[in-house]
């Protein structure tokens, strides 16, 4: 087990080469189960839609209610940072348990249960009467929601390898990017039409729809491919993963990048609506602009992964994001450029997530064996979304104003992310 979890960094980086030995003449990795490309057009479309919806669970739970944050704090009291932090805490910790479980029992059972819990937690948020109650409900909401992106990544790893996995993840991100575009727009109109509680009822309804889609999702990890040990024994894989240098490099890369992403998600409504006076309905448009950048870069990334190594792509993407982060920090601190100075620079930082998320996820999961993909995806997701806890807490403790705090945090996150892929590895130096 240990040897299989410590593949060389070169194998993870040069995914094209690694996938060649596992590919058909079409360049598609040999399946662990019946290959999705053989499902037929309708079944393949359903698979992609379901996986995209699962990947979008996090955006769904965090973006729709954002236009209502000022109204929530006015009614229930302050605590907007804790609304994000509590969700991310539940999201990060629950994955560490449910990921290993999925390696033992398959993907469908945890997914189905997760969506039911997601719906119930969202409904509880909708009827919460106090801020502490809302925060607790957000934790329950997160426990269910975390199964979506975590197990969607594991399913992709079950079915694909190397370059093909990166292409599929890019496709899924392209589709799921509609959620952050439509979510704030929908949320803004729901807040205006019926108040902030309507946003959580909408999340609950969508969670139930995703549950219905899961019923038609084929099991990607048949019994023969599952980790055969007991569920408690699965947790011994975590120390092994921590010692897997290539895996952890990509985990930390996306972790730091999401510190930047969640700095924006946490403070954007305050920055745009409260600081700059943007109407809640138009806030959704400004938020959605960023997802256009994500979708555009994701579409290009599907082509880039065919010709370049994942590490090479990540070097360029994180460098561009860092340069944009420098410009954003300068704009945020000095005030030069006002609202549009922030909007434009955030667009480049946020947009590069279309490359960073897909490539880091594919490279990280390609460095572990399929039998522990659920555990690896759990650890990856825990770091990825748990990083938002760090971001939210630092924003809450920051002596700077909302604009300055967000701008500086986004720059710091992109810079540290770039550091993970630009620093030479010890292994390469040894060679």
With respect to residue 176, please indicate whether it lies within any of the assigned structural domains: yes
Closest CA to 262 of 135, 383, 125: 383
pLDDT at 378: 82
Residue 59 sits in a domain of what CATH number? 1.20.1250.20
Give the contacts of 67 (CB within 8 A, at least 6 positions apart).
184, 187, 188, 191, 199, 269, 273, 280, 281, 283, 284
Residue 13 lies in a domain: no
* Dihedral, 271, 267, 126, 278 alpha carbons, nearest 10: 10
Number of structural domains, the chain?
Answer: 1
The answer to the question of residue 6 being in a domain is no
Query: Which pLDDT value is given to residue 275?
Result: 87
The answer to whether residues 344 and 328 touch, using CB atoms and an 8 Å cutoff, is no
What was the pLDDT predicted at 363? 87
Instruction: Say what the pLDDT of residue 17 is.
Output: 37
Half-sphere exposure of 39 (CA within 13 A, CB side): 19
**Residue written as tokens 């629950």?**
94
Q: CB–CB of 86/385 below 8 Å?
A: no
Helix segments in 160-279, DSSP class H: 162-176, 178-194, 197-214, 237-242, 245-269
Distance CA 299, CA 108 (A): 29
Measured CA to CA, the distance from residue 155 to residue 52 in angstroms comes to 12
Q: Is residue 17 part of a domain?
A: no
With respect to residue 232, please indicate whether it lies within any of the assigned structural domains.
no
The position carrying tokens 């999925």 is: 102
Angle at which helix 353-366 crosses helix 373-397, to 10 degrees, equals 140
What does the block give as tokens for 21? Answer: 């030995």
Environment class of 137 (CB within 10 Å of its CB; exposed 0-12, middle 13-18, buried 19+):
buried
Eight-class DSSP state of 236 = G
Beta bridge partner(s), residue 382 = none
Q: Which residues contact 201 (CB under 8 A, 6 or more apart)?
A: 122, 123, 126
- Report the pLDDT value the prediction gives residue 251, as an integer from 0 to 100: 93
Here the tokens at position 229 are 């040990």
pLDDT at 229: 66
Range of the domain at 208: 36-222+240-424
Domain membership of residue 10 (yes or no) is: no
**Strand, coil or helix: 277:** coil
What is d(CA 358, CA 170) in angstroms, rounded to the nearest whole number? 6
Query: Are the C-beta atoms of residues 406 and 332 closer than 8 Å to each other?
Result: yes
- 24 in a structural domain: no
* pLDDT score, position 265: 82
CA dihedral sign of residues 212, 83, 172, 247: negative
* Cα-only R_g, the chain: 20
Phi, psi of 29 (to 5 degrees): -65, 145
Rounded Cα gap, residues 135 and 217, in angstroms: 32
Is 257 a domain residue? Answer: yes
Q: Residue 2 in 3-state DSSP?
A: coil
Per-residue pLDDT of the chain (431 residues; tens, 9 = 90+): 333 333 333 333 333 333 333 333 333 333 344 555 556 677 778 888 888 888 888 777 877 887 888 889 888 887 777 787 788 888 888 888 888 888 888 888 899 999 999 999 999 999 999 999 999 999 999 999 989 888 888 888 788 776 777 777 777 776 666 776 777 778 888 888 888 999 999 999 999 999 999 988 878 777 777 766 666 766 777 888 898 888 999 999 999 999 999 899 888 888 998 889 888 778 878 887 887 888 788 778 778 888 888 889 999 999 999 999 999 999 999 988 899 999 999 999 998 988 898 889 888 888 887 777 778 888 888 888 778 788 878 888 888 888 999 999 999 999 999 999 998 765 443 33
């Amino acid at each position: 087990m240990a040897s299989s979890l410590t593949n060389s960094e070169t194998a993870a980086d040069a995914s094209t080469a690694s996938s060649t030995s596992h590919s058909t003449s079409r360049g598609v990795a040999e399946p662990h189960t019946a290959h999705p490309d053989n499902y037929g057009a309708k079944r393949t479309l359903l698979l992609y839609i379901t996986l995209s919806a699962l990947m979008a669970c996090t955006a769904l739970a965090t973006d729709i209610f954002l236009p209502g944050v000022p109204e929530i704090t006015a009614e229930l009291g302050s605590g907007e940072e804790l609304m994000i932090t509590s969700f991310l805490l539940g999201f990060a910790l629950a994955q560490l348990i449910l990921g290993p479980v999925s390696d033992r029992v398959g993907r469908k059972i945890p997914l189905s249960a997760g969506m039911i819990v997601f719906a119930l937690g969202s409904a509880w948020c909708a009827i919460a009467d106090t801020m502490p109650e809302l925060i607790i409900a957000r934790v329950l909401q997160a426990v269910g929601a975390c199964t979506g992106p975590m197990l969607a990544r594991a399913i992709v790893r079950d079915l694909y390898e190397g370059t093909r996995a990166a292409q599929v993840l890019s496709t899924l991100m392209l589709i799921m990017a509609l959620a952050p575009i439509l979510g704030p727009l929908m949320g803004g109109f729901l807040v205006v039409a019926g108040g902030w509680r309507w946003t959580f009822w909408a999340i609950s309804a969508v969670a139930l729809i995703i549950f219905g889609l899961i019923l038609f999702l084929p099991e990607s990890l048949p019994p023969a491919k599952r980790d055969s040990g007991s569920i408690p024994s699965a947790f011994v894989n975590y120390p092994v993963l921590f010692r897997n240098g290539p895996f952890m490099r990509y985990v930390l890369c996306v972790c730091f990048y999401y510190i930047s992403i969640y700095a924006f998600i946490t403070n954007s409504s305050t920055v745009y609506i409260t600081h700059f006076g943007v109407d809640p309905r138009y806030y959704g448009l400004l938020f959605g602009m960023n997802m256009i950048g994500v979708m555009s870069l994701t579409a290009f990334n599907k082509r880039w992964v065919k010709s370049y190594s994942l590490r090479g792509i990540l070097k360029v993407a994180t460098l561009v994001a860092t340069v944009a982060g420098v410009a954003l920090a300068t704009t945020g601190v000095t005030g030069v450029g006002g609202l549009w100075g922030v909007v434009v620079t955030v667009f480049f930082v946020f947009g590069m997530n279309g490359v960073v998320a897909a490539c880091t996820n594919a490279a990280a999961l390609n460095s572990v064996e399929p039998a522990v993909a659920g555990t690896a995806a759990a650890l990856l997701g825990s770091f990825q979304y748990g990083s938002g806890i760090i971001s939210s807490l630092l924003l809450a403790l920051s002596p700077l104003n909302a604009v300055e705090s967000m701008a500086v945090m986004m720059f710091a996150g992109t810079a540290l992310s770039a550091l993970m892929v630009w620093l030479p590895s010890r292994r390469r130096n040894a060679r």
